[in-house]
Structure 1
């Protein structure tokens, strides 16, 4: 069979939370609770990873590690990661529901994919406790997936392909060439590539641009193009097969993938 069977989505910045803004304030506040300041760019850089892994990646930033050592008298270690994660998790859980409005057009795209007979899976760097706040808000806006695997339910987080394989097993899909991964972060694209699936990066609705819909609309044409080009370069660097602005551009890409499958091409 040379047809697509499933699309596996990320959540924040892909299906909900335009600009992937929910975790940013929580990361900044969590570090501030330990008297260490981080910037939004530092908080955003590892986005897409499981949140404990994300905190570890922020700590690995030389400036942040130095700031922690100056404040606490020693380099950040596993105990520091655990302590910060314990503070971060309730902060992110509390804010997640407020940033879970579906991205415009997402509900229609999902409905169209289902009408074509495609299965809809998903993975996320969020824990299940955070997603319990996200899912009801998303569902009210018409966004729901057939399946979801959270970062704390897997043996390994992104860029490991555990979440992809878990979806494929549950959805009874044997061939990763019949699967598409859609994500707004490079590490999410790596997750899809590591599974052997087609991958689609989103440049303007998610983490790589990091703006709300209103902020994006306020950009000039040149500024918008610059943001798109910058995000495209990041996705291209990790091997994304396709790069589009938002989920609304996905149906045309899926049609092209099916043409490639029919011609014998594979991811």
Structure 2
């Protein structure tokens, strides 16, 4: 197999490589709001700012107009930093306890990643999870056979996480990549696509395996064409705002993207 002109692919975790539908973080957000403040949050509301660091995610949920209105009606003022801290402190142990339950790779993820490695492409990764959650998830994913070459958690860097380029660029440095234009960032959420753009990389959004479609693996496998078309369009409307270079259903479709980017690089194109 000839060596690829692509130096590295940087994958998100939940909804991209593991945890079909990105249920580990969203379900825990709902539970944390309920436990700490007896406040009801819908799964769709919990999904809305997915891709941010988890503290920033809680902050963003509190700014969703419907959530903010209910919060003010209930507590008399908008959510403040102390409220976010309390929910975050509840969220963290719950997430650590349950993230392993959602560590199973998405169908075809392992064979796609192993094929990339065989072509000499390095596998980077980054996540909205903080390091203490990532350490649990990484160990569980390794048991399934997934082991990227480098991993960055959202609190590893003092500059912070997405949509800024820092986590992606930390992968570039640690993997020894010499040209960001020969890298691909793959994500199921808009902040992760923005991160790839900000790092100067090719960007790929995932429509059906991730946060925006919100399907369980079984729902995806059982769905008819119309159901998938509706879910695909729902995700497309959200992700297209970040203008990814490619939109595909799941990681299973990624090899065709790699081949097309290789063709474009050979023709002198850049992200």
**TM-score, normalisation: structure 2:** 0.95
Q: Does 1:230 align with 2:234?
A: yes
Paired residue for 2:70, among 67, 79, 97? 67
Paired residue for 2:12, among 10, 13, 31? 10
Q: Does 1:139 align with 2:142?
A: yes
Please name the residue that 2:187 is paired with. Answer: 183
Please name the residue that 1:42 is paired with. Answer: 45
RMSD: 1.4
Give CA-to-partner distance per residue, 1:24-55, whole Å, 9 cap, x none.
Answer: 22111111120211111100011111000100
Q: Does 1:84 align with 2:73?
A: no
How many Å separate the matches in 2 of 1:76 and 1:246?
36
Displacement after TM superposition at 1:157 (Å):
1.3
How many Å separate the matches in 2 of 1:54 and 1:118?
32
Please name the residue that 2:166 is paired with. Answer: 162
How many Å separate the matches in 2 of 1:72 and 1:231?
33
How many Å separate the matches in 2 of 1:64 and 1:233?
22
Please name the residue that 1:203 is paired with. Answer: 207
Please name the residue that 1:245 is paired with. Answer: 249
Please name the residue that 2:270 is paired with. Answer: 266
Q: Does 1:150 align with 2:153?
A: yes
Please name the residue that 1:95 is paired with. Answer: 98
Please list every run of 5 or more consecutive structure 2 residues that lacks an aligned counterpart in the other structure: none
Match of 2:155, SS state, is helix
Displacement after TM superposition at 1:176 (Å):
1.2
Displacement after TM superposition at 1:218 (Å):
2.2
**TM-score, normalisation: structure 1:** 0.96
Paired residue for 2:225, among 221, 227, 235? 221
Please name the residue that 1:105 is paired with. Answer: 108
Q: Tell me, yes or no, if the aligned pair for 1:35 and 1:71 is still in contact at 8 Å.
A: no
Match of 1:7, SS state, is strand
How many Å separate the matches in 2 of 1:61 and 1:232?
21
Please name the residue that 1:256 is paired with. Answer: 260
Displacement after TM superposition at 1:132 (Å):
1.8
Q: Tell me, yes or no, if the aligned pair for 1:158 and 1:188 is still in contact at 8 Å.
A: yes
Aligned residue pairs total 267
Match of 1:182, SS state, is strand
Please name the residue that 1:57 is paired with. Answer: 60
Match of 1:207, SS state, is coil
Please list every run of 5 or more consecutive structure 1 residues that lacks an aligned counterpart in the other structure: none
Paired residue for 1:192, among 188, 192, 196? 196
Q: Where has structure 1 moved over 6 Å in runs of 4 or more?
A: none
